[in-house]
């Protein structure tokens, strides 16, 4: 009796990736975040990087969900020039007690944020906005993840802030960096906490690609 090694009909991982709906599409990442760029490259997308500057101040009575969705959309709306198939913007914020925690302005604020997050849960909201550039079709999603911190000592907070890592991070920590030592557990999207929820981003990208293919097919009939 002969035994044959099982071979997936998808072929090699590289061949399988080449058949995903977004392959061959040019994506413009409207962000200067190295973390978002690395996450996209992780799934085989090497985007054009096109950072923009917007006013990130929350509006009066604006909910955290509306806030991050608005910022992601405003970023995309400033990068609609030709040269790509899609423009992708994202924004991440930390929310505790309905209060938005952005990036700390100084070490003292970073220490205050971390003390507030210590020993409890908080939410991380990441909004993604994706625009199909040829017809300006725009779709936005907000992904919420709950993160639990262990109880931090004053020494742990001081040492982490002294590392410099909290200073350009929403909520004053980075899950993908040294800040991982504070996280007890996560419920939701790990990549969303880092800055780009991959499953939701790729699902949205696939949806817009599929819609485009259906439109082209119907137009050819």
Residues forming the active site: 91
Contacts of 88 (CB under 8 A, 6+ apart): 27, 28, 29, 30, 31, 47, 76, 128, 129, 130, 131, 201, 205
Q: Looking at residue 153, what DSSP letter applies?
A: P
The residues pairing with 218 across neighbouring beta strands, listed in sequence order, are none
Report the C-alpha gap between 89 and 80 in whole angstroms. Answer: 11
| CB-based contacts of 39-44 (< 8 A; 24+ apart in sequence) | 39/191, 39/194, 39/195, 39/196, 39/198, 40/196, 42/198, 43/17, 43/198, 43/202, 44/17, 44/20
Contact 123, 146 (CB under 8 A): yes
Host H or E run for residue 217? helix 198-220
Report the C-alpha gap between 44 and 17 in whole angstroms. Answer: 7
How do strand 27-29 and strand 48-49 relate by DSSP bridges?
parallel
**H helices, E strands: number in the chain:** 7, 7
- Residue 53 tokens read as 């500057």
């Amino acid at each position: 009796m002969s035994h044959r090694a099982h071979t997936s009909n998808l072929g090699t991982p590289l061949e399988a990736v080449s058949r995903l709906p977004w392959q061959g599409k040019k994506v413009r990442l409207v962000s200067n975040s190295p973390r978002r760029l690395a996450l996209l490259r992780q799934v085989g997308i090497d985007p054009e990087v096109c950072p923009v500057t917007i006013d990130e101040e929350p509006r009066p009575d604006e909910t955290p969900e509306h806030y991050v969705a608005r910022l992601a959309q405003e970023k995309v709306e400033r990068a609609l020039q030709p040269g790509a198939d899609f423009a992708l913007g994202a924004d991440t914020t930390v929310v505790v007690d309905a209060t938005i925690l952005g990036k700390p302005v100084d070490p003292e604020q970073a220490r205050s944020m971390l003390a507030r997050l210590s020993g409890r849960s908080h939410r991380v909201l990441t909004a993604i906005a994706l625009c199909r550039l040829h017809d300006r079709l725009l779709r936005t999603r907000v992904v919420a993840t709950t993160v639990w911190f262990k109880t931090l000592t004053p020494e742990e907070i001081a040492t982490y802030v002294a590392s410099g890592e909290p200073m350009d991070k929403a909520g004053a920590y980075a899950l993908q960096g040294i800040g991982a030592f504070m996280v007890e557990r996560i419920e939701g999207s790990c990549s969303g906490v880092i800055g780009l929820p991959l499953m939701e981003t790729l699902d949205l990208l696939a949806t817009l690609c599929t819609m485009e293919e259906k439109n082209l097919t119907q137009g050819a009939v």
